[in-house]
């Protein structure tokens, strides 16, 4: 299990607070690019809710039923395939890695797979970047700023560097 140790990894925490891709203050401005994506992963409840509001469904959606630490329930999740993972805040657990891997294997059918995280899904962006096909589009929300859109191929080295800065807990 990897744990982000706040005392030891202040540089990593500062880096994670910056958008990893292109920031769209208005979700609507990213819709054309989202629609042109061959494979789409969304991380976060607000991002997933915005997508479904426009009847756009990611291949994989990762949620924790919280938006800015407040409970959120999705009125309609159009996914027959819901996977579960445990991942406390500040961690990237082996369970989360494995569940993302399973969703990537299963989602080639074109159906939407949702990973419901017990804990927090924020750091799931990093394993997604490292495990997904390089052409994958990944979306996540930047709190109070907007939507971040990135291509996995553009951030593989940076994601690995950030992961390498985590403390392994056994």
> Which pLDDT score, from 0 to 100, does residue 7 have?
56
Q: From CA 140, how far away is CA 23, in angstroms rounded?
A: 10
> Which pLDDT score, from 0 to 100, does residue 93 have?
93
> Which pLDDT score, from 0 to 100, does residue 71 have?
55
> Which pLDDT score, from 0 to 100, does residue 127 have?
96
| Pick from 59, 24, 65, 21: nearest CA to 46 | 65
Beta carbons within 8 Å of 94's beta carbon, 6+ residues apart = 1
* Tokens (6 digits) for 169: 């807990």
* Tokens (6 digits) for 159: 């994601």
- 68's enclosing H/E stretch is none
| Pick from 151, 149, 131: nearest CA to 139 | 149
Residue 98 domain boundaries: 2-168
Chain centre distance of CA 97: 12
Contact 96, 87 (CB under 8 A): yes
Q: From CA 98, how far away is CA 85, in angstroms rounded?
A: 9
> Which pLDDT score, from 0 to 100, does residue 76 have?
47
> Which pLDDT score, from 0 to 100, does residue 16 have?
86
* Tokens (6 digits) for 102: 């399973």
pLDDT tens, position by position, for the chain (170 residues)? 677 665 557 788 888 889 999 999 999 999 999 999 999 999 999 899 999 999 999 999 999 886 555 555 555 455 568 899 999 988 999 999 999 999 999 988 888 899 999 998 999 999 999 999 999 999 999 988 999 999 999 999 999 999 988 888 77
> Which pLDDT score, from 0 to 100, does residue 75 have?
53
The tally of domains found in the chain comes to 1
Q: From CA 88, how far away is CA 113, in angstroms rounded?
A: 21
> Which pLDDT score, from 0 to 100, does residue 8 have?
58
Alpha-carbon distances, residue 106 vs 33, 60, 81, 111, 136 (angstroms)? 24, 10, 9, 9, 15
């Amino acid at each position: 299990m990897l744990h982000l140790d706040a005392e030891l990894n202040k540089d990593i925490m500062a880096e994670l607070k910056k958008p990893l891709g292109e920031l769209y203050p208005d979700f609507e401005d990213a819709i054309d690019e989202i629609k042109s994506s061959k494979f789409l992963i969304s991380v976060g409840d607000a991002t997933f809710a915005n997508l479904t509001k426009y009847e756009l469904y990611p291949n994989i959606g990762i949620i924790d039923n919280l938006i800015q630490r407040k409970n959120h329930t999705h009125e309609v999740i159009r996914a027959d395939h819901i996977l579960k993972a445990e991942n406390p805040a500040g961690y990237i657990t082996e369970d989360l890695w494995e569940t993302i891997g399973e969703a990537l294997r299963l989602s080639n059918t074109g159906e939407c797979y949702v990973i419901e995280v017990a804990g927090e899904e924020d750091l799931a962006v990093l394993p997604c970047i490292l495990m997904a096909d390089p052409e994958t589009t990944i979306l996540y929300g930047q709190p109070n700023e907007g939507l971040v859109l990135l291509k996995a191929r553009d951030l593989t080295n940076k994601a690995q560097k950030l992961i390498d800065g985590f403390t392994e807990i056994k």
